C-alpha cells in the first residue's frame, strides 16, 4: 500500500438529472398513483367495513376502513422519507462532531437528502393534522371511539399528554427545530465552498453539530412517542424512541449508499473508491445489527416479563396471519440478510451485492413502520395490497426527484473542505 493512490474522476464535476432517470421517477410516481387509486377503489367497494361500526367489541377507531388505510399509508410514507432526511442531518452532525474525514467525497449526498426535510415535514404535518381531525389515525383524538374502547380506563390517565392542542404544539416545535438545524448545516456547507470562509465555518460547525445532537435526542424520542407509539395509546415502551431512531437511521444509511452507487453507475464519483463503498457497507452492516439488538431487547423483555399491559401489543401482531408474517419477514430482511451477506469484506466492496442488500433493507425498514402503524389503526382489518405498494413507489419518486434535483445544483465534491485530501486518499486496511 505504499504506492501512490491514483485518484480517478473529476472532483469538479456536477451532476445533472438525465432523461432516463426522469422517466423512471415519472414511472414511479405515475404507477404509484395508479396503484393507490386502485387500492382506494378496492377498499371502498370491498365489503370490508360492512360489519364494522359502533357495536364492534374489538374497540379501536370508528372511521371508515378505507380512510384509515389511506391515512396509515400516508403517515408511513411521509414519515419514512422525512425520517431519512432528518437522519441525514444527524449523519452530518455526527461526522462533523467526531471530526471524520473519509466521508467528505460523499458529503453532498446526505446534504441533498437533508434538503428534502422541509418538503417532507410539510407533507407529514398535513397528514398528521388530517389524521387527527378525521379521526383516522389516533384513537385518543376521537372521544366517542375512545370511550367505547376497553382500554379507556388506562388511556384516560394520559389525556394530559395525548390531546390535540398539545400534540400539534409539540409537532410544530419538532418541525421548527429540525428545519432550523437543517438550514444551519446547509449554511455551513455553502460557506465551506468559499475559500475565504471555509475554516471559520468549519470550526463553527462543531458547535452546531453538538447542539443539534442534543436537541435531536429529545425531539426524536418525542416524535416516536407522539406519531407512532400513541397509535396504540394504551401501550408503552421506553425503548420505542430508540427503536424508531434505529429504524430510520438504517433506512438513511441504505438510501445514502444507494444514491452513491447510483451516481457511480451513472459515471459520476470516480474518486469514490471501493474503500468508501466498504465504509458505507460497514455502516449498513453494523447498524443493521444495532437495529436488531434494539428490536430484540424490546421484544425479549416484554415477552419474558409477560405483563398484560405490555404484552397485548405483540400478542395482537403475532395472532394476525398478515402482521405476523410481516413481523417475521422484516426480521429476516433487516437482520439475517445483511448479517450473512455483508459479513465478508468482499461483499461490502462489491457494488452489486451492496445495492441489492441496501434495497432490501430499505424496504425492510419501511415494514417496521407498517408494523408500527397498521396493527393500531386497522387492527384486525389489516391489509397489504396495491395501495401500500403504490404509495411507497409514489413517495419514493417524489423523494428521488427532490434529492437528485438538489444534488445537481452544486458541485458534487466540496472542493475546499479541509479533510478533502484525507477523503480522496481514503484507504481501509
Partner 1 sequence: MTESPIREPLVTGKKSYAQVTDDVLKPIVSAPSKEWWFAFLISATVMMVGLGCMTYTVFTGIGTWGLNKTVGWAFDITNFVFWVGIGHAGTLISAILLLFRQGWRQSINRAAEAMTIFAVICAAIFPGLHMGRPWLAFWVLPLPNTHGPLWVNFNSPLLWDVFAISTYFSVSLIFWYTGLIPDLGLVRDKVTNPIQKKIYSILSFGWTGSARAWHRFEITSLVLAGLATPLVLSVHTIVSFDFATSVIPGWHTTIFPPYFVAGAIFSGFGMVLTLMIITREVLDLKNYITDGHMDAMCKIVIATGSMVGLAYTTEFFIAWYSGSIYERFTFINRAFGPYWWAYWAMFTCNVFSPQIMWIKSIRSNMKLVFIISLLVNVGMWFERYVIIVTSLHRDFLPSSWQMYYPTWVEWGTMIGVFGIFFTLFLLFARLLPVIAIAEVKSIMKVSSDEAKEKNTHSYASGELNVNVAHSPDNQKF
Residues whose CB is less than 8 angstroms from the CB of residue 299 and which lie 6 or more positions away in sequence, other chains included: 314
Q: Which of residues 272-291 bind partner 1 (CB under 8 A)?
A: 282, 286
Q: Which stretch binds partner 1 (CB under 8 A): 21-29, 64-72, 303-311, 378-386?
A: 303-311
Among 112, 294, 362, 391, binds partner 1 (CB under 8 A): 294
- Alpha helices in 61-139, H assignment, sequence order: 65-97, 108-114, 117-133
Q: Which of residues 243-272 bind partner 1 (CB under 8 A)?
A: none
Is residue 234 a contact residue for partner 1 (CB under 8 A)?
A: yes
CA 161 – CA 377 distance, rounded (Å)? 19
Ramachandran angles phi, psi of 234, nearest 5°: -75, -20
Closest contact distance (angstroms) between CB of 340 and partner 1 is 16
Q: Which of residues 167-226 bind partner 1 (CB under 8 A)?
A: 210, 213-214, 217-218, 221, 225
Q: Which stretch binds partner 1 (CB under 8 A): 38-46, 83-91, 92-100, 184-192?
A: 92-100
Closest contact distance (angstroms) between CB of 424 and partner 1 is 8
Residue-by-residue DSSP string for 232-300: STT---TTHHHHHHHHHHHHHHHHHHHHHHHHHHTT--TT--HHHHHHHHHHHHHHHHHHHHHHHHHHH
Among 40, 87, 250, 302, binds partner 1 (CB under 8 A): 302
Name residue, grid cell 438550514.
183
**Nearer to partner 1 among residue 11 and residue 119 (C-beta):** 11
Is residue 384 a contact residue for partner 1 (CB under 8 A)?
A: no
Residues whose CB is less than 8 angstroms from the CB of residue 400 and which lie 6 or more positions away in sequence, other chains included: 25, 28
Tell me the site size for partner 1, rule CB under 8 A.
Answer: 49
Is residue 298 a contact residue for partner 1 (CB under 8 A)?
A: yes
Residues whose CB is less than 8 angstroms from the CB of residue 382 and which lie 6 or more positions away in sequence, other chains included: 320, 322, 323, 374, 375
Q: Which of residues 135-174 bind partner 1 (CB under 8 A)?
A: 154-155, 157-158, 161
Give, in degrees to the nearest 5, the angle at Cα 333 between 331 and 335.
Answer: 60
Closest contact distance (angstroms) between CB of 283 and partner 1 is 11
Among 172, 173, 176, 301, binds partner 1 (CB under 8 A): 301
Among 37, 297, 328, 356, binds partner 1 (CB under 8 A): 297
Closest CA relative to residue 257, chosen from 367, 189, 350: 350
- Taking phi over 0 as left and psi of -120 to 50 as alpha, with beta for the rest, 10 belongs to beta
**Nearer to partner 1 among residue 39 and residue 209 (C-beta):** 209
Closest contact distance (angstroms) between CB of 20 and partner 1 is 36
- Packing angle between helix 351-377 and helix 321-331, nearest 10 degrees? 150
Among 10, 18, 23, 98, binds partner 1 (CB under 8 A): 98
The strand ranges marked E within 324-410 are: none
Which residues here bind partner 1, judged by CB under 8 A?
Answer: 1-2, 4-5, 97-99, 101-102, 154-155, 157-158, 161, 210, 213-214, 217-218, 221, 225, 234, 236-242, 282, 286, 293-294, 297-298, 300-302, 304-305, 307, 309, 418-419, 421-422, 424-425, 427
Amino acid at each position: 500500500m505504499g504506492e501512490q493512490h491514483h485518484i480517478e474522476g473529476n472532483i469538479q464535476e456536477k451532476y445533472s438529472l438525465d432523461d432516463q432517470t426522469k422517466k423512471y421517477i415519472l414511472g414511479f410516481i405515475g404507477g404509484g398513483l395508479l396503484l393507490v387509486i386502485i387500492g382506494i377503489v378496492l377498499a371502498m367497494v370491498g365489503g370490508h367495513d360492512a360489519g364494522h361500526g359502533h357495536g364492534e367489541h374489538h374497540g379501536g377507531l370508528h372511521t371508515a376502513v378505507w380512510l384509515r388505510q389511506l391515512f396509515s399509508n400516508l403517515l408511513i410514507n411521509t414519515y419514512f422519507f422525512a425520517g431519512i432526511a432528518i437522519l441525514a442531518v444527524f449523519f452530518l452532525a455526527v461526522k462533523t462532531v467526531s471530526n471524520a474525514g473519509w466521508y467528505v467525497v460523499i458529503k453532498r449526498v446526505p446534504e441533498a437528502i437533508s434538503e428534502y426535510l422541509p418538503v417532507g415535514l410539510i407533507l407529514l404535518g398535513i397528514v398528521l393534522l388530517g389524521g387527527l381531525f378525521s379521526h383516522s389515525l389516533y384513537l385518543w383524538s376521537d372521544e366517542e371511539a375512545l370511550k367505547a374502547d376497553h382500554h379507556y380506563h388506562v388511556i384516560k390517565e394520559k389525556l394530559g399528554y395525548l390531546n390535540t392542542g398539545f400534540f400539534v404544539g409539540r409537532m410544530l416545535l419538532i418541525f421548527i427545530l429540525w428545519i432550523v438545524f437543517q438550514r444551519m448545516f446547509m449554511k455551513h456547507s455553502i460557506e465551506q465552498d468559499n475559500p475565504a470562509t471555509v475554516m471559520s465555518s468549519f470550526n463553527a460547525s462543531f458547535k452546531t453539530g453538538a447542539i443539534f445532537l442534543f436537541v435531536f435526542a429529545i425531539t426524536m424520542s418525542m416524535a416516536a412517542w407522539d406519531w407512532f407509539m400513541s397509535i396504540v395509546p394504551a401501550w408503552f415502551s421506553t425503548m420505542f424512541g430508540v427503536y424508531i431512531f434505529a429504524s430510520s437511521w438504517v433506512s438513511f444509511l441504505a438510501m445514502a449508499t444507494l444514491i452513491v452507487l447510483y451516481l457511480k453507475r451513472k459515471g459520476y464519483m470516480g474518486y469514490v473508491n471501493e474503500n468508501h463503498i466498504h465504509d458505507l457497507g460497514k455502516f449498513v452492516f453494523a447498524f443493521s445489527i444495532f437495529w436488531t439488538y434494539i428490536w430484540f431487547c424490546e421484544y425479549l423483555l416484554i415477552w419474558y416479563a409477560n405483563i398484560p399491559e405490555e404484552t397485548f401489543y405483540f400478542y395482537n401482531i403475532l395472532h394476525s396471519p398478515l402482521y405476523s408474517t410481516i413481523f417475521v419477514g422484516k426480521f429476516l430482511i433487516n437482520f439475517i440478510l445483511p448479517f450473512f451477506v455483508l459479513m465478508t469484506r468482499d461483499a461490502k466492496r462489491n457494488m452489486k451485492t451492496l445495492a441489492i442488500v441496501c434495497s432490501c433493507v430499505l424496504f425492510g425498514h419501511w415494514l417496521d413502520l407498517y408494523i408500527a402503524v397498521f396493527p393500531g389503526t386497522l387492527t384486525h382489518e389489516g391489509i397489504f395490497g396495491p395501495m401500500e405498494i403504490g404509495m411507497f413507489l409514489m413517495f419514493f419518486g417524489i423523494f428521488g426527484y427532490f434529492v437528485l434535483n438538489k444534488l445537481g445544483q452544486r458541485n458534487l465534491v466540496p472542493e475546499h473542505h479541509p479533510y478533502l485530501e484525507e477523503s480522496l486518499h481514503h484507504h481501509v486496511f
